[in-house]
Chains A and B, each alone.
Chain A
Amino acid sequence: MRQQFRDSATRLAGTDERLILLFGDISFYLFNDFLRQYPGRLLNVGICENTLISMAAGMNAAGYHPVVHTIAPFVTERSYEQVKLDLCYNRFGCTIVTCGGSFDYAWDGATHHCYTDLELMRMLPGMEVMQPGSKKEFDTLFTSCYADGNPSYIRIAADEHGLDLPVEFGRGVVVKEHPGADTTVATAGPILGNVVTACSDLPVNILYFPTIKPMDRELLARFGDTRFVVVHDAFGLFEAINASSPVAAEYHGLPDDFCCHYGTLRDIRGKLGLDAAGIRSRVEASIRTGNGYAKTA
């Protein structure tokens, strides 16, 4: 998906002279061709995430569409106040594109895990939050948002869900609608692949939200008479759905604990019950016991 970021940025830079890339010393080598085509429009600023965000605000004030790119925890958790004040409060447009969300850097341990980014960004007024699950989705969402004048957050993933879905900014997708189902499984990002594997023969609906903010309330309302189970290897989607009447949801995701394991993304998902087997087990339990509920009017 990172290559898609390069390709999308390169294509857009050809028609929009105001697109400018500010990197925190990652992915620089990958963008060699971009630099050759557009010298001076990719600035490898340094390992200084707070200044990256503040500078992006200033560059938008000067008329540019800045795109900040670095590793998720350092630009969201460390630089939260810069995002909050310099971008959101001051209403300067900028697109933050990160890698290393959730457990994409599983082997690096808890310092490099980042599962709060989507929720932290979601809580900020005016922020748009996206978690694409494929290259095509990244291209669609990035193209929609990079110059819309708002601060945006897009997380690049290490894997993809493997489905071809009709994604557009601000809209959820019905991946599966089971007639008469009283359980709806909602998810976002590449883990949709595990969800589909887990639930393909279960009597449930599956909804997919590559845009977490703004949340597609219309779609939620359509399924408002079912009980919701949010399956997500991060925080953010569960909170977004629960904040959106009329739905109240259960969460199958992360514990209130650090993940002090190494290995691969697959290893960590298995440990947390977020592999297909773990998800299926959780969804079956919900169907059996009727856990979860729909809000009454």
Chain B
Amino acid sequence: MDDLARQIRESILHISHHSGHGHIPTCFSIVEMLCAVYRTMRHDPKNPRWEDRDILILSKGHAALGLYCTLAHLGYFPIEDVYAFGAFGSDFGCHADRFKVPGVELSTGSLGHGIGVAVGMALGFKMSGSTRRVHVIVGDGEANEGTVWEALMVAANMSLGNLTVLFDNNRSQSRCLPIDNPEAKFSAFGFDVSSVDGHDTDAIARALKETSGRPRAIIANTTKGAGCPTLVTDMFAWHRRSPNPAELKTLLGELR
């Protein structure tokens, strides 16, 4: 685990402990994806509305705490601001509000929405001749929603080569409706597909640089709670739970 990914995870734990909110395992699942996307895309923490910036949409909006901590560590705002996570009067809700948090491009939360908006943005950029790119993080649980597959079909039909879907394949739906062999499914839907270790930032970054005239899916094979064996072992119990002081100490120790 690189330093940035570790720092983001530590912040997620501290803020979840402090606030009593947060989906820690799902946030941990996407930390390396966030690091890789922001390492490779055009963005400016000091000018979040820069008109030539690339776009990241967190379609699995319940991982907002992971996005906040990443943006904070990249310099969009002080990490101290995020400690009010979920509180009345805070700008940092458990699902993000694009009008309140610099760097957040879309207010998400209800699953299966961000991918469709991402398709529209990518289409708009393509039509206007812009080179801006759109990245969208979709969860495998989220992919139970039919709207995800609608949007993928449209993206492929419109040859949106400026769209990259990062598919968080953490197998969260193993107890109900698993998305088996997502590589084959995305390929069948007309996407170029890369399959990577979702906790290898360098591998994800390399995959992000591969482009063609077709939309790309990066199947990020991840582990819910990655970095803390306690979370991995019991991911369902920790789905929406904050650590008490003793647990926080244990989890921080596991990260090191």
A interface residue numbers (CB < 8 A to B): 20, 40, 43, 45-46, 48, 50-51, 53-64, 66, 81-82, 85-86, 89-91
Contact = CB atoms under 8 A, between A and B. Distances in A.
Contact of B117 (A40, A48, A55): A55
Interface string B64-82: 0000000000000000000
Interface stretch (B30-38, B146-154, B182-190): B146-154
Given A62-B120, A90-B106, A55 B154 contact: yes
Given A51-B150, A90-B106, 4 more contacts: A50-B150, A53-B116, A58-B119, A85-B109
B124 interface: yes
Contacts of B127: 20, 40, 62, 64
Given A40-B127, A59-B124, A51 B106 contact: no
B154 A45 contact: yes
A89 B115 CA distance: 16
Interface in B74-114: 98-99, 105-107, 109-110, 112-113
A62 to B, nearest CB: 2
Most central of A48, A53, A58, A62 by chain B CB within 10 Å: A58
Interface residues of B, number: 31
B121 A58 contact: yes
Contacts of A55: 116-117, 119-120, 123, 151, 154
Contacts of B115: 54
Interface of B: 98-99, 105-107, 109-110, 112-113, 115-125, 127-128, 130, 146-147, 150-151, 153-154, 157-158
B117 A62 contact: no
A229 B23 CA distance: 52
A214 to B, nearest CB: 22
A50 B157 CA distance: 16
The interface residues of chain A, by DSSP majority, are classed as helix
11 contacts: A45-B154, A46-B153, A46-B154, A51-B147, A55-B123, A58-B116, A61-B124, A62-B128, A63-B128, A82-B147, A90-B106
A54 B147 contact: yes
A86 to B, nearest CB: 6
Nearest to B152: A51
Contacts of B107: 85, 89-90
| A40, A43, A51, A86 interface centre (most CB from chain B within 10 Å) | A51
A63 B124 contact: yes
B137 to A, nearest CB: 15
A82 B116 CA distance: 9
A21 to B, nearest CB: 12
Given A45-B154, A46-B153, A48-B153, A54 B128 contact: no
Contacts, number: 94
A48 B118 CA distance: 15
Contacts of A81: 110, 113
A58 B128 CA distance: 13
A46 B117 contact: no
Across chains A and B, which 10 residue pairs bring their CB atoms closest together, nearest first?
A58-B120, A62-B124, A54-B116, A55-B120, A58-B121, A58-B117, A48-B150, A51-B150, A59-B124, A59-B120
A53 B119 CA distance: 11
A261 to B, nearest CB: 32
A50 B117 contact: no
A147 to B, nearest CB: 15
Given A51-B147, A58-B118, A58-B119, A64 B124 contact: yes
Contacts of B118: 58
Contacts of B151: 51, 54-55
Contacts of B112: 50
Contacts of B146: 50
Contacts of A57: 116-117, 120
A62 B113 contact: no
A35 to B, nearest CB: 15
A50 B119 CA distance: 12
Contacts of B154: 45-46, 48, 51, 55
A91 B107 CA distance: 10
A91 B99 CA distance: 10
A50 B120 contact: no
Nearest to A53: B116
B121 to A, nearest CB: 4
A58 B122 contact: yes
